[in-house]
Amino acid sequence: MSKRHTKSPEPGTLLVDSDGKLGEFMGKGGPRYMLRPLRGGCEWEAEPDAVREPTPAERETAERQRAGRTAVSP
């Protein structure tokens, strides 16, 4: 299982919320974390104890998204 965060991560850290959505940590909004989609868009809130670090596969997908590419299915 991936490590859960107990302190605020650095801005730009990749996190996955309890719904499985991958986002970039932007900061805190009150007690909650603010995450932003990698390709831009509206931020959303996530409970700090309900986020985790991405798996290696999720991280690879995120890097493709950051680079503006999408995965190609076989």
Q: What are 15-56's pLDDT values in tens digits?
A: 999 999 999 999 999 999 999 998 889 999 999 999 999 999
| CB-based burial label for 51 (10 Å; 0-12, 13-18, 19+) | buried
Q: What is the mean pLDDT of residues 50-67?
A: 91
Residue 63 has a pLDDT of 86
Q: Are strands 22-29 and 14-16 parallel, antiparallel or unpaired?
A: antiparallel
Query: What element of type H or E holds 60?
Result: helix 56-66
Residue 1 has a pLDDT of 40
Per-residue pLDDT at 4 exceeds 60: no
Residue 14, CA distances (Å) to 47, 59, 73, 74 in order: 15, 8, 23, 26
Per-residue pLDDT at 58 exceeds 50: yes
